[in-house]
A and B are shown apart, each in its own frame.
Chain A
Amino acid sequence: MRENLHRFFRAARGAGVHVSPAESIDAMRAVKQVGFSDRAILRDALLLTLAKSQDEKLALGDCFDLFFSQPEPRQDQPETENDAASDEDSRDGEQSSAGATSDAGDGRPSQELGPLAQMLLSQDRNALAAAIASASGAASLSDIRYSTQRGIFSSRILDAMGLQRLRDDLEELTATNPSLAERLRAALDALREAVRDTVSQGLALYAREEAENLRNEILRNAPLARIERRQVAEMRALIRQIARRLRERYSKPRKRQRRGHLDVRRTLRRNAAWGGVPFLTAWKRKHRDRPRIVALCDVSGSVAQVSDFFLLLIHSLHEVVDDVRSFAFSSHLIEVSETLEKNSPEEAMAEIMSKVGFGSSDYGSSLVDFEKDFMSTLTPQTTVIVLGDARSNNLDPRADILRRISERSKRLVWLNPEGRLAWGFGDSEMPRYATFCSVVRQCATAQQLERAVSDIVATYQ
């Protein structure tokens, strides 16, 4: 049973529930108390000890149901199961015994056949299910990780069930008893199907996490600008996940460092031993400023998709970055903070794109727009983030405005989706702009985006 529990923990991890060794020990202790006999109580106990949120509870509950819907490996089989199996046997005229190990000799052609063939011909579903389960155990199905491994696990399970012997039997039967061979072949096909289902179920149970990790890893490093349409939704989910992680990491109250007024109570208390003479002073502390961020996003055709994700990330982060204003531009610039906050990400992006998106970029006039209307939003605490490729179609880049922006704000960060090699070639104005930036980074993949934003938020800690 312990083995079974361990397999369940593995399945739980697959379902996205974080099960640490300490938690699994707790769960074991809990299970020891409640026992295995009552499945509903077992389910409650596992949910109580393993799941740490309502979402995890739901996931784990599903996982539990799926896991225990599988027949258990034979050696753990409770007796009732065997009883049921033998009941069926007797109804089938005792064609073969439930145990795949014993050769039932009752004068029928199945006499010389291997145990698997006999089991198939007897159509004893319970015994078959149990045999598949124990063969899955032998083939360690719980190690399955990727969908590409389906074939190999299927054949491993079939081998463990004695496919080789069955093939020999088939060959022999084709010569001696074609009609029985035909039946056996049909049964074998059904068996293959059943094994395939078992493997799929195993994949669903044990491999979800790995597969997801792999996919996320690939996505994380894929260039944002070249994401295929069908991946966009996945990418959105990934960006949201990144935002959640950043939020968890940074949303804890910032350390209060600066000191404020004298804390009379604590001062007196500290100096009690010296008769109240204040040798040591205690100070009340002040909160640090929360970050102010102004984000300028190029949404012209070439970089639109990257900025799409960037805006999404910034706005999913609004719990950490509570004073954030976003602007989008290609040939002219508009404020999009409200659009992003009020609408769902998809709607907001569509709206922004319809207003200013996909044009050819004109950094100069967009900067002019910003200076004219929004320069006053910048304070010495503001971090300005510009996301764009700095390709201005050979129009005046107005680097002087960027200089003034840089002077008015605390930091100016430029995230460029192009590689460093391309900066300065063609119509790229990056080198000119870069002189006024505190930080210039390449930002072409989700991972780079995460690091960049993480760094920006981290400086406020």
Chain B
Amino acid sequence: MADQKASTSIEAVESGLAAQGYIASRQIATAVYLSQQIEKPILVEGPAGVGKTELAKAIAAWRGMKMIRLQCYEGLDEAKALYEWKYAKQLLYTQILKDKLGEVLGGAQTLHAALAQLHDFGDVFFSKEFVEPRPLLQALEQPGGCVLLIDEIDKSDAEFESLLLEILSDFQVTIPELGTVSAITPPTVILTSNSERDLGDALKRRCLHLHIGFPEQRLEERIVESRVPGISQTLRRQMVGFIHEVRSLDLKKLPSVSETIDWARVLVLLQAAELDTDIVKDTLNVLLKYEADIEAASPQVTSFIAKAARSNVFG
């Protein structure tokens, strides 16, 4: 059972995630540990590219569970998130059964008896057979549990949040025609948000609130080390130091961990031994995604490299 692999301590979480290549800070590990222990979803907030979605993937991989992902967007509704009636199938069955109607009603002596028979018949159409489970319902129906990732919840409408409340607090959903479906094994739920919209209190109340910011230098070095194995220690130190300098600038979009990893890969590809002005200027577009940001950062490149190199000596 997956539960045997359940997080027994914060350290176990940390090493478990590390084995999947996810270097978690202590806060993250504590959050994952607590969410197992007190069965609460985790709401992860933070800038894009710091590993919010990765966290869910890493947990799933570590605990050997299936990951079900629900990508949120404006206009997402229960038919796409929760369940939908297979109306085409219902329609088809009605057509086929029309011919059988005579047979079914044949035995009925009175109108009342016929109606009663029709009644039983109608209920068939709103049975489990005709329900198409969408991600949320699928997550509840996994016998071995799963990791349910509700990605970018801030992109969805406020009504959708209300739809989630029942799942988040009790791990169950109520389908009006069928009744309540409870989770076989409560899924591990991770919600992510870029804070595009303020989420409702009711939703926040049901979750542990984890904020993942840009990692500290040491942590980021370890992340690069685990993700880009081919990189030398000197270069790793320098590039992470450089990125930390870049993050102090007032940019439209600050480079996040995913950009750090991309950049590290590029530098390895280019067989750079250490940072120099030319190579940084050539590859700055990997790190920064706006022309204006690149222009703002370019004049600083030399001094940043120098700073990164200096901190390298003392670090």
Contact = CB atoms under 8 A, between A and B. Distances in A.
Interface of A: 20, 22-23, 26, 29-30, 33-34, 40-41, 44-45, 47-49, 51-54, 57, 248, 252-253, 265, 268-269, 272-276
A276 B94 contact: yes
A248 to B, nearest CB: 7
B253 interface: no
B26 A54 contact: no
14 contacts: A22-B205, A26-B38, A30-B34, A34-B33, A44-B30, A44-B31, A54-B211, A252-B158, A253-B157, A269-B90, A273-B90, A273-B122, A273-B126, A275-B95
Contacts of A40: 26
A268 B91 contact: yes
Given A45-B34, A48-B30, A34 B10 contact: yes
B158 A33 contact: no
Given A41-B26, A57-B211, A273 B45 contact: no
Contacts of B204: 52-53
- State which size class the interface on B falls in: 20 to 34
B85 A269 contact: yes
Contacts of A45: 30, 34
B40 A26 contact: yes
Contacts of B87: 265, 268-269, 272
Given A44-B26, A273-B122, A49 B34 contact: yes
Contacts of B158: 252-253
B27 interface: yes
B205 to A, nearest CB: 7
A449 B260 CA distance: 50
Contacts of B38: 26, 29-30, 33
Q: What are the 5 A-B residue pairs with the smallest beta carbon separation, nearest first?
A: A272-B90, A269-B87, A52-B204, A44-B30, A33-B37
A335 to B, nearest CB: 30
B96 to A, nearest CB: 11
Contact of A41 (B30, B40, B98, B205): B30
Contacts of B34: 30, 33-34, 45, 48-49
B250 interface: no
Contacts of A52: 201, 204-205, 209
A20 B209 CA distance: 15
Nearest to A28: B38
B210 interface: yes
A248 B198 contact: yes
Contacts of B40: 26
A274 to B, nearest CB: 8
Most-contacted residue by chain B among A41, A48, A49, A269 (CB, 10 A): A48
A33 B7 CA distance: 12
Contacts of B33: 33-34
Interface of B: 10, 26-27, 30-31, 33-34, 37-38, 40, 45, 85, 87, 90-91, 94-95, 98, 122, 125-126, 157-159, 198, 201, 204-205, 208-211
Nearest to B90: A272
Contacts of B26: 40-41, 44
A272 to B, nearest CB: 4
Contacts of B27: 44, 47-48
B30 A34 contact: yes
Nearest to A58: B211
Given A26-B38, A272-B90, 5 more contacts: A26-B40, A30-B37, A269-B85, A272-B125, A273-B126
B205 A276 contact: no
A180 to B, nearest CB: 52
Contacts of B94: 272-276
Nearest to A255: B159
Q: Kindly name the residue among A20, A265, A268, A275 whose own CB sees the greatest number of chain B CB atoms within 10 A.
A: A275
A123 B95 CA distance: 95
Contacts of B126: 273
Contact of B208 (A49, A53, A272): A49
Contacts of A272: 85, 87, 90-91, 94, 125
Contacts of A30: 34, 37-38
Given A34-B30, A54-B45, A269-B85, A48 B91 contact: no
A265 B10 CA distance: 49
Nearest to A44: B30
B85 A41 contact: no
A252 B202 CA distance: 14
A253 B159 contact: yes
Contacts of A276: 91, 94
B241 to A, nearest CB: 25
